Amino acid sequence: MAKARQKSVAPSRPRGRRSKDMPDGRQALLAAATHAFACHGFDGADLRSFAADAKVSANLVRVHFGNKAALWEACLDRVVAVGLPAMAGVQKIACDSARPLSERLCAVISEIAHFYAANPDVRDFVVRHASEAPERAVLVSDRLLRPAYATVRELFSAGIEAGIIRSPHPALFFALLNAALNQPPAFPMLLNRIAPEIDPETSRELLIETTIATFLHLP
């Protein structure tokens, strides 16, 4: 009797495993979770939804992180990792005593604005979780807000002393500046709707120029 031909069947890809041309599942999940936590907060972020956005199985949350709280902390680690090089860049500008004080202040404002524009999820994650549950707010403040403020505190103090910044305390100027520069991704479109003559392509640079002109009293 002739042996029955065995069908050649390609092995199925294990659940949660990704093909070589796709991003690593853990990193994809972290990116999707960071976005979800930034947009919806801790309670509003749905595990299954952002797992679907990352194109991974929802059980990868348990496999890689254990639970939602641990995943949130991993997202904070990711946000810190993105923010640290930017803070180092700002500090380098702030400490460059070879440049005039006014020039350093302008450059720092521009650097912060460009970072926010390039990293909306980082910006929104910090803003949302710095004011949510106290335990998460403390982590965000200690790991991001305080270090970010430390990079510019002396520069802003020097600006106040020179009369370029009119504020009783550098922390107040830091908070006001970040609020002004912290515009949503849709900012260019929204601005264009109320002022069609402003080209969306140039609106962020115009925001930087306006912030500098408004906040700094330059000679």
Mean pLDDT computed over 158-182: 96
pTM recorded for the entire structure: 0.82
**What integer pLDDT is reported at residue 175 of this predicted model?**
95
pLDDT tens sequence across 76-102: 999 999 999 999 999 999 999 999 999
40: left (phi over 0), alpha (psi -120 to 50) or beta: alpha
Average pLDDT, the chain: 88
Q: CA-CA-CA-CA torsion for 106, 176, 112, 149, nearest 10 degrees?
A: 100
Helices H / strands E in the chain, number of each: 11, 0
Is residue 62 pLDDT above 90, yes or no?
Answer: no
Which long-range contacts does 159-162 make (Cβ < 8 Å, 24+ apart)? 159/101, 159/105, 159/216, 162/101
- pLDDT tens digits, one per residue of 20-37: 444 478 888 999 999 999
